[in-house]
Structure 1
């Protein structure tokens, strides 16, 4: 369960479990150190006092009873004698549970007739409830009577709650309320301390997607402030290194293209046509290699300018272009609305690279829209496929299989690496599997939110 919680959630769960464990240990210690009768007597002293008053009145002479009644009566407890059995009225009703509870304290006095009466006022509806009602209800008069051997009844009228109270509340309820308030304060404090970590997590996620440096203001505990400062410095250094690498590769690519252009002019002067074609092919391969290497160096860090892209129109256009060149390619796209948020140029290059890769090693290629909650495009071919143990490695730059996919078939070895970087930048998932046509299936699953 803790695996699904964040840092703040884990701290809150730890505090909650600690409070529950503390409550369980305290409750267990209470029941082990004291008997049930002792706990009841301490929490509810009035029944024990009633038992003593009944014994005192019953053992006294009839002439002494009025004096005893005056002595035991107080502002909270009024004691009287009556010869009539108290009965419930339209305004009052008996409380069987309270009668059973009070009878437990009178077992030593032989069986007694115990009657507990309280008003019929029920709990109001929530819209009619007021804060002061709880204290007023706690201070309502409770009338109960205990029979004597001479068939008289000792009538007690208790004003307020029979047990110990703190601001009109039971001590346990008050302690629980205080604990809840402390727990809420602890949760707020934990959320406040975890806020810098959440900001740092968002900053790192943004940096990993487009290399945009978003420094977080150091806050929180000293260790967290040091961590934020270290991550800010690391992002700055990585951004500078990437920028320097991109500038270096761009400069090298520009200079090499200048020399390639010169070589191309000199190749045109070669006397034999066959040698000219081979040399021109090598120069074209060198140009594509430079362009792909520069794209890989920029791909994982280029900022994506997201805008709505109609994938249906884009894929239909790519398929039509390839058919005009004589390629055996088909599309089973249906009529669904395929719209995502992304960069059109990058997405077009992603699909072109995958389609060209399929056509290079197969005789035909098919584009399909797979039924799924997300937008999933599958590219199937009938080629030799890729072994399962090499399907993760093919996305590494310059990785090549030793069998059919060698340099003799063309390509720089960077096509799938570029595809992987574009897919990651758009939050899409790439999956390689076996195609129904016997070759390779490449599935691109775009998130539903674009």
Structure 2
């Protein structure tokens, strides 16, 4: 099945037209066949009716003898016999017989019974009593050719034999040749079908493109939608499509306005919360008890980090940072060095250089979150890179206890932590994995987690669209 609207519309119309034309061809073919039979039977009945009229003349036998001598080479003289001709493989034609009865009644002819048969071959007795068997000679004559007649007439496909029983018991029989016009009829029907397809499908192709073009533009804008960008679709196409485009443009404007309002609100929240936190930090410095002061400072810093994670997650997709070609190997080394400088067990298996089009600041933050989780919950972090044809996968492995399979999906939900005690000394706010996955998906990738067979957990950051590598 075609996937496009135009393709499906054309396929439906073509299939429907094919069914309708097939029925039409069948009916026309049946009609042509019946017309052949009726035409042949009418010629035979007319010839017999003329013969019956001549039989009323007293000098009939003498004149028939003279006609037989004249038509010895021309044929089409009715056969007068004591019985109907024997036709072993003939098919009875009741409808022709009924019509012939009415015709002879209207002519006032005195007949006892009528028999109409269709056969492929005629007996020898009827060879001189066939109407239309020599038509080919006249059509192929020197006179017929210049007048535009066919050089080769249709072949004979059978005969209609009409036999009439007279009141004295004699039978008058005559055969009429059936010409096979099927090739001519089929050619005309084929031409008719092609013309119908052209007449219907060409306008439908134009209409389909007229409808689908604005829909394709609308789909492209929807697929490339970015928060903060208010791309508008030009209003075109039929009225229904125009109303859809108008509704989409209005929705796009409303979404943009809501995001703008959200950014303003987040900026106000960040300012209103960070200002008192900074003031509180200054006041905490005056506390004399060193242990108490350090605990208070740790709480303030944790609140500041949590606030920063929340704001970063809320503003994701509206970042002012543009994508640029970045050496992933150098980026990983920078992040790993930050943990190593703090004395934390993080290692990187240096691989090939890979250039990927990313927003480096956001990607660095996602890696910090994944490596930090591996060190907190899995005791260490080992980073490696796998490259496929379409993706670049950054693997962060640990040797910890792992996570039950049924709990892995929930780990990406906000404020969910693998350590359920909510103890700040053993974990963060529960936004690290959520933010890392959001950053990866903002790049068109994803973050997945799975337990390793040898023990521990693997977090995989997937980045698509590798630009270059060496």
- Aligned counterpart in structure 2 of residue 20 of structure 1, from 6, 9, 18: 18
Structure 2 counterpart SS, 1:212: coil
Q: Which runs of 5+ in 1 are unaligned?
A: 42-54, 80-97, 110-161
**Residues 57 and 164 from structure 1, CA distance in 2 versus in 1: closer, same or farther, beyond 3 angstroms?**
farther
Closer, same or farther: CA 73–231 of 1 in aligned 2, 3 Å:
closer
SS in 1 for 2:394: strand
Alpha-carbon distance change, 280 to 419 in structure 1, aligned in 2, over 3 angstroms: same
1:115 alignment partner in structure 2? none
Q: Secondary structure at the match of 1:59?
A: coil
Alignment of 1:418-437 (within 5 A): 418-437=435-454
CA RMSD of aligned residues (A): 3.6
Q: Matched residues in 2 for 1:263 and 1:341: separation?
A: 41
CA contact (8 A) 1:381 1:437 kept: no
3-state DSSP of counterpart to 2:147? coil
CA contact (8 A) 1:210 1:425 kept: no
Alignment of 1:166-177 (within 5 A): 170=188, 172-173=190-191, 175-177=193-195
Task: Give the Cα separation in 1 of the matches to 2:189 and 2:213.
Answer: 36
2:214 pairs with 1:196 = yes
TM-score (norm 1): 0.68
| Cα separation, 2, equivalents of 1:178 and 1:332 | 69
| Aligned mates of 2:237, 2:21 — CA distance in 1 | 31
Whole-Å separation in 2 of the counterparts to 1:349 and 1:300: 14
Aligned partners of 1:363, 1:271: CA distance in 2, in Å?
35
Q: Give 1:426 shift.
A: 0.9
Q: Structure 1 residue 298 and structure 2 residue 315: aligned?
A: yes
For 1:215 and 1:438, locate their aligned partners in 2 and report how far apart those are by CA, in whole Å.
52
1:281: Cα distance to partner? 0.6
Query: Is residue 396–residue 458 contact of structure 2 (8 Å, CA) maintained in 1?
Result: yes
Give 1:418 deviation, angstroms.
Answer: 1.6
Choose from 213, 216, 230 the match for 1:213.
230
Q: Which residue number in structure 1 is paired with residue 362 of structure 2?
A: 346
Pair 1:312–1:36, CA change in 2 (3 A):
farther
Task: Report how far residue 316 of structure 1 moved.
Answer: 2.1
1:142 maps to which residue? Answer: none
Cα displacement (A) at 1:294 = 0.9
Secondary structure (helix, strand or coil) at the match of 1:282 reads helix
Q: Could you tell which deviates more after superposition, 15-24 or 25-34?
A: 25-34
Instruction: Give the superposition deviation at 1:342.
Output: 1.5
1:410 to partner: Cα distance: 2.9
Cα–Cα, structure 1 residues 170 and 370, in superposed 2: closer, same or farther, change >3 Å?
Answer: same
- CA–CA distance in 2 between the matches of 1:106 and 1:418? 84
Give the 5 Å matches for 1:159-308. Answer: 163=184, 170=188, 172-173=190-191, 175-180=193-198, 182-207=200-225, 209-302=226-319, 305-308=322-325
**Matching residue within 460, 464, 468 for 1:443:** 460
Alpha-carbon deviation of 1:183?
1.5
Contact 1:400 1:406 in 2 (8 A): no
1:75 Cα deviation from its structure 2 partner: 1.9
* 1:287-366 matches, cutoff 5 A: 287-302=304-319, 305-335=322-352, 337-366=353-382
Deviation of 1:72 (Å): 5.3
Confirm or deny: 8 A CA contact 2:450 2:459 kept in the other structure.
yes
1:137 maps to: none
Distance in 1 between residues matched to 2:347 and 2:453, nearest whole Å: 14
Q: For structure 2, list consecutive stretches of 5 or more residues without a partner in the other structure.
A: 40-70, 78-136, 161-182
After TM superposition, the structure 1 stretch with the greater mean CA deviation from structure 2, 267-276 or 13-22, is 13-22
Task: Give the SS at the match of 2:224.
Answer: helix
In 2, the alpha carbon distance for the partners of 1:390 and 1:21 equals 56
CA contact (8 A) 1:431 1:444 kept: yes
- Contact kept, 8 Å, 1:380 with 1:437, in 2: the verdict is no
Change (3 A) 1:75 1:363: same
Partner of 2:420: 403
Q: SS where residue 77 of structure 1 aligns?
A: coil
Per-residue CA deviations over 1:222-250 (Å, capped at 9, x if unaligned) read: 22222211221111111111111121111
- Are the aligned partners of 1:211 and 1:301 in contact in 2 as well (CA < 8 Å)? yes
Decide which moves more: 22-31 or 377-386. Answer: 22-31
Aligned counterparts of 2:149 and 2:208: Cα–Cα separation in 1: 48
Residue-pair matches, total: 353
Q: Is the 8 A contact 1:380 1:436 kept in 2?
A: no
| Residue correspondence of structure 1 range 369-388 to structure 2 within 5 A | 369-370=385-386, 372-373=388-389, 374-388=391-405
Shift of 1:269: 1.5
